[in-house]
A = this chain, B = another copy of it.
Amino acid sequence: MAGHDDGKAVANGIPPPPFQLPTPDSPDVITANMFKLTELTPDDRKRFLLRNLVAHLHSFVRETSLTTAEWDQTIKFLTRVGQTCTPIRQEFILLSDVLGVSALVDAINNPPENDATESSVLGPFFTEDAPDVANGDSIASEGKGEYMYVEGRVLSVDGTPIPNATVETWETDANGFYDTQYTTRDRPDCRGRLHSDKDGHFGYRAVVPVAYPIPGDGPVGELLLGIGRHNMRPNHLHLMIEAPGYRKLTTAFYPEGDLYLESDAVFGVKKSLVVKLQTIKDEAEARKRGFPKGDTFKLLQRDIILVPEDLAAKAFKEKAEAAAKNAAVSL
């Protein structure tokens, strides 16, 4: 027998199901059989996810009477989304972002806790190669934009300072581009990793970030055009804070006044994350802060308040159990 190249078509060794199924002669029987087959899924959580996925997917097709042509376009669209992904571009995350799914997953997994700093979407521009910087250092090379100094304390919800918390931070330059968007990138820029000091303080030099469009040359860009939506994100500074015993916080601060705050293409902004940038015009202060030129800089002062892990886990579990009561299909 000759070789074949359309995938290894090998039986997976699982026998026919140990129950009787009618032939799937109608939409109702197709859906019923698909549900019945989920009983074969051994893992409880996976079965719950599968059953609810099938419920919603089949309901979508049935309620809209999706045409064969529309199904075909959807297959082609999803294929293009997958094939647009590269090691430095994630078009499926972008699709999830613009449909509000990423923000929803984020909001559900990080329910607000009293005064704790709220979360925001990670976005596709985080990298692992941010350089370590000391408190007071700059994460941006000279000339990347208008000076901004960022400072605050990392605290627990009860006000206790958290020393040695890891603060990862990244942002666009004045052109609205992340370093990874330049073909000429030879090292990280406008990103850094620092640690809070013994009193929880952290502070670093950066630049004022700029609003920017998410990639518009792929299938997700075409989708947004087709559904009449802009592809802009308001300007923001990303932060990811980790400390042992606390829920990891992925968030961003959004300077007030941006045109796209409410209609952020990826639903990332929360009111509590909108910040005021103070303008400091004081040459001595600028030198003291380490800025090499001029007499003016912006100041972003904001404490970061983390939630203890056990408290966060309890809050998520309670909400998840309540939500599951409304599930289309139970376990």
Binding site for B on A (CB under 8 A): 1-17, 20-27, 30-31, 33-34, 37-38, 40-42, 46-50, 52-54, 56-68, 70-71, 75, 78-83, 85, 88-90, 92-93, 96, 99-109, 118, 175-178, 180-184, 212-218, 221, 224-232, 259-264, 267, 269-272, 274, 316, 319-320, 323-324, 326-328
User: In the complex, which residues of chain B have a beta carbon less than 8 angstroms from the beta carbon of A21?
Assistant: 262-263
Q: Which residues of B contact A61 (CB under 8 A)?
A: 101, 104-105, 108
Q: Which residues of B contact A11 (CB under 8 A)?
A: 213, 216, 230-232
A108 interface neighbour in B24, B66, B326, Cβ under 8 Å: B66
Given contacts A11-B232, A23-B262, A228-B41, contact A34 B181 (CB under 8 A): no
A118 — which chain B residues lie within 8 A by C-beta?
Answer: 25
Determine the residue in chain B with the shortest Cβ distance to A65.
Answer: B320
- A49 (CB) vs chain B CBs: closest residue: B64
CA distance A320 to B71 in the complex (A): 15
Given contacts A61-B105, A324-B65, contact A71 B96 (CB under 8 A): yes
Determine if B30 and A107 form an interchain contact, defined as CB atoms under 8 angstroms apart.
yes
- 8 A-B pairs, CB-CB below 8 angstroms? A6-B89, A14-B228, A56-B60, A59-B328, A66-B108, A67-B105, A67-B109, A71-B105
Q: Is the CB of B88 within 8 A of A85?
A: no
Most chain B beta carbons < 10 A, residue from A64, A176, A225: A64
> Shortest distance in angstroms between A176's beta carbon and chain B's nearest beta carbon?
7
